[in-house]
A and B are shown apart, each in its own frame.
Chain A
Amino acid sequence: MSSLRILVPIKRVIDYAVKPRVNKAQTGVETAGVKHSMNPFDELSVEESVRIREKKRAPGGVEDICVISAGPPKAQDVLRTAMAMGADRAIHVDVKEGEDLEPLAVAKMLRRVVEEEKSNLVILGKQSIDDDANQTGQMLAGLLGWAQATQASKVEFGEGDVVSVTKEVDGGVETVRAKLPVVVTTDLRLNEPRYANLPNIMKAKKKPLSKKTLADFGVSNERRLKVLKVTEPAPRQGGGKVEDVGGLVSKLKELGAI
């Protein structure tokens, strides 16, 4: 079994617990002064990579866990968090605030990174909770011509570079098997990410973080989708409360729901 060189792409997004507000100009969501953190699905990717090493789940061992994020300088915060969780090193690709990359551009960049880093396993979150696209992992696998296993809830390694992945699908789960190299995307039930403790946060400050630009990987931020406007969804008005079950039934009848 080849030893694993794992690449974990992570994204800095508005914290999942924050209710996003559309800005006045209707060009996007208000991000200034809003709490950001690592995309929750990416935490699962980092955790899984670290567990593969800690539990010695891969027969060939784990040689390297590299995290990468493209974004403004603040993206370095989530890279440090990932290193505090156990990643070995990080790459920050500097992209100006507000010039976010589309999934296709991210996938093109990651293809180059994979080639340079000689990665044989890429673990991504299944989707980012800001754009909700659910595309990057599949696009990357397509561009690389690699096998893909999306929405993973279990990843197992066997002899002969075989990776078995249990995937969450509509109505249940499905298991597929492939040989390395593989792209895996994580679903919520894959694991429970750890909290980085203080000693590890301190250690993470000393781990290597290299700074790059898109040009270093020969890609540009070519946008294919133009955002015409961003609006609030039509508000839903609560219809008030009823006193008892009888009131609930008659109200539901009145609304034509039963």
Chain B
Amino acid sequence: MLCTARRVVAPQLRGRLTQAATSPVAFFSPAALRRLASTLAILEQREGKLNHGSLSAILAAKKIGGPIHGFIAGSSIKAVAEEAATADGVEKIVAVDNGAYDKGLPENFAPLLVENIKKGGYTHVIAGHTAFGKNLLPRVAALLDSQQISDITSIESENTFVRPIYAGNAVSTVESSDAIKFITIRGTAFAPAELGNGSAAVEDGVDPKAESLTEWVSEDLAKSDRPDLATAGRVVAGGRGLKSKEEFDQIMQPLADTLGAAIGASRAAVDSGYADNSLQVGQTGKVVAPQLYLAVGISGAIQHLAGMKDSKVIAAINKDADAPIFQVADVGLVGDLFEKVPELTEQLKK
């Protein structure tokens, strides 16, 4: 009952608020104000560059309604904050300039967020379901005694969200009763907010300067000139059928280059050492939803399908006519990939 009432009342309040240009405090009690949705979208940066994929959190926040603030932290953050401030729909960017937050270590980043969430009185906090978001947000949610909703694909109302469960084999609609809703979003389900039109204010956030219990030591990131797997318009993915790392590279790279596609891999290909871990598509790897997903030598286990079945067009090349991948592929070709893929690459070049 209460929840229904809130949903009905909130848009009306919001309407009146936009009409009344004067301070809303004069019109509403603090209790009524608390019911208005306001969202903090957590943005990511890396070495002084805004991660544009993280602007998806802003688009998701728009679907909730109410003011949207962006949050970003790191060293010399001003330029990044100002870039983010041009994102369409953002009212304010809360920025914390401190190199201690560069690596996104959750032990100090979580208390940082807690303080800024408390100060801003947000009802919703949204981050991407990325390595950063997954690592950080549950810790923040627990500190504020909230049950996070992970990897959502759609927002039905300010307290109702849709998310895949069981590796995407079922879709669950859940209603949250928490005062602050912590949400991670599936990047492929929400486009990044566009930059250039907005003119948000940039404001310094609170910095509690908590110590991190972990120390960042090093990183080893796969270098690639190809489009980023998670956001690429086209993905070509190879599986166990490629037989070796040499053959994987020899067959898949020319195909990817011809199509301007990112390269992905099945778990079998990754475990056999044909491709880097970071290229894995599936329940335990990346979730992609490109315009074209071309599966080469991949049988189509449910864990793999979980990572790619929302692709617009799925094509498959496999020598086994009964491979499950053909049940989801829009177009399938039965044949030896070592013959068919080079032939395909040649035809595409024309």
CB distance from A155 to the nearest CB of B (A): 13
Q: How large is the interface on B (under 10, 10 to 19, 20 to 34, 35 or more residues)?
A: 35 or more
Closest to A239 in B: B330
A175-B214 contact given A233-B170, A245-B347, A248-B331, CB 8 Å threshold: no
In the bound complex, do residue A174 and residue B170 qualify as a contact, i.e. CB atoms below 8 Å apart?
no
Closest to A241 in B: B332
| Number of chain A residues whose Cβ lies closer than 8 Å to a Cβ of chain B | 77
- The segment out of A46-54, A60-68, A71-79, A130-138 that lies at the interface is A130-138
Q: Tell me which residues across on chain B come within 8 A of A104, comparing CB atoms.
A: 141-142, 145-148
Please tell me if B106 contacts chain A, counting CB pairs below 8 Å. yes
Q: Tell me which residues across on chain A come within 8 A of B145, comparing CB atoms.
A: 104
In the bound complex, do residue A142 and residue B331 qualify as a contact, i.e. CB atoms below 8 Å apart?
no
Q: Tell me which residues across on chain A come within 8 A of B169, comparing CB atoms.
A: 19-20, 29, 232-233
Q: Tell me which residues across on chain A come within 8 A of B29, comparing CB atoms.
A: none
Contact of B312 among A228, A240, A251, A257 (CB under 8 A): A257
Closest to B156 in A: A228
Residue of B136, B170, B276, B303 ringed by the most chain A CB atoms within 10 A:
B170
Cα A150 to Cα B133 in complex, Å, equals 12
In the bound complex, do residue A141 and residue B139 qualify as a contact, i.e. CB atoms below 8 Å apart?
yes
Please tell me if A201 contacts chain B, counting CB pairs below 8 Å. no
A152-192 contact mask (Cβ, 8 Å, vs B): 1 or 0: 01000000000010011111111111110000000111000
In the bound complex, do residue B315 and residue A29 qualify as a contact, i.e. CB atoms below 8 Å apart?
no
A168-B277 contact given A132-B150, A178-B214, A228-B175, CB 8 Å threshold: yes
Please tell me if A103 contacts chain B, counting CB pairs below 8 Å. yes
CB distance from A164 to the nearest CB of B (A): 7
Contact of A232 among B170, B175, B313, B329 (CB under 8 A): B170
Contacts between chains A and B (CB distance < 8 A), count:
244
Cβ < 8 Å to B, chain A residues 222-258:
224-233, 236, 238-242, 244-249, 251-252, 255-258
In the bound complex, do residue B142 and residue A107 qualify as a contact, i.e. CB atoms below 8 Å apart?
yes
Cα A132 to Cα B350 in complex, Å, equals 44
In the bound complex, do residue A240 and residue B146 qualify as a contact, i.e. CB atoms below 8 Å apart?
no
CB distance from B170 to the nearest CB of A (A): 5
Please tell me if A81 contacts chain B, counting CB pairs below 8 Å. no
Q: Tell me which residues across on chain B come within 8 A of A195, comparing CB atoms.
A: none
CB distance from B200 to the nearest CB of A (A): 26
In the bound complex, do residue B214 and residue A147 qualify as a contact, i.e. CB atoms below 8 Å apart?
yes
In the bound complex, do residue B329 and residue A174 qualify as a contact, i.e. CB atoms below 8 Å apart?
no
Q: At the interface, is chain A mostly helix, strand, loop or mixed?
A: mixed
In the bound complex, do residue A29 and residue B166 qualify as a contact, i.e. CB atoms below 8 Å apart?
yes
In the bound complex, do residue B139 and residue A148 qualify as a contact, i.e. CB atoms below 8 Å apart?
yes
Cα A29 to Cα B137 in complex, Å, equals 27
B309-321 contact mask (Cβ, 8 Å, vs A): 1 or 0: 1001111010001
In the bound complex, do residue A236 and residue B328 qualify as a contact, i.e. CB atoms below 8 Å apart?
yes
Closest to B312 in A: A257
Q: Tell me which residues across on chain B come within 8 A of A142, comparing CB atoms.
A: 106, 110, 138-140, 142-143
In the bound complex, do residue A257 and residue B165 qualify as a contact, i.e. CB atoms below 8 Å apart?
no
Please tell me if B221 contacts chain A, counting CB pairs below 8 Å. yes
Q: Tell me which residues across on chain A come within 8 A of B148, comparing CB atoms.
A: 103-104, 133, 135
Please tell me if A84 contacts chain B, counting CB pairs below 8 Å. no
CB distance from B107 to the nearest CB of A (A): 6
Contact of B213 among A129, A147, A189, A251 (CB under 8 A): A147
Contact of A257 among B138, B175, B222, B315 (CB under 8 A): B315
Q: Tell me which residues across on chain A come within 8 A of B174, comparing CB atoms.
A: 225-228
Please tell me if B10 contacts chain A, counting CB pairs below 8 Å. no
A230-B278 contact given A132-B165, A135-B138, CB 8 Å threshold: no
In the bound complex, do residue A232 and residue B292 qualify as a contact, i.e. CB atoms below 8 Å apart?
no
B263-288 contact mask (Cβ, 8 Å, vs A): 1 or 0: 00001000100001110000110100
CB distance from A193 to the nearest CB of B (A): 14
Cα A242 to Cα B343 in complex, Å, equals 15
Q: Tell me which residues across on chain B come within 8 A of A132, comparing CB atoms.
A: 150-151, 164-167, 283
In the bound complex, do residue A224 and residue B177 qualify as a contact, i.e. CB atoms below 8 Å apart?
yes
B158-175 contact mask (Cβ, 8 Å, vs A): 1 or 0: 001000111111111111
Known: A244-B333, A255-B331. 9 other contacts (CB 8 A): A16-B303, A130-B166, A139-B138, A139-B141, A225-B147, A225-B175, A227-B174, A228-B175, A252-B292
Q: Sort A-B residue pairs by CB-CB distance and give the 10 closest, nearest first.
A: A172-B221, A224-B147, A147-B213, A139-B142, A138-B138, A142-B139, A135-B138, A239-B330, A257-B292, A169-B131
* A-B contacts, 19 listed (Cβ < 8 Å): A103-B148, A132-B150, A135-B148, A138-B135, A148-B139, A169-B219, A170-B131, A176-B214, A177-B215, A179-B213, A226-B174, A227-B173, A228-B175, A233-B164, A239-B329, A245-B343, A252-B331, A257-B312, A257-B315
Residue ranges of A at the interface with B (Cβ–Cβ < 8 Å): 14, 16, 19-20, 22, 29, 102-104, 107, 129-143, 146-151, 153, 164, 167-179, 187-189, 224-233, 236, 238-242, 244-249, 251-252, 255-258
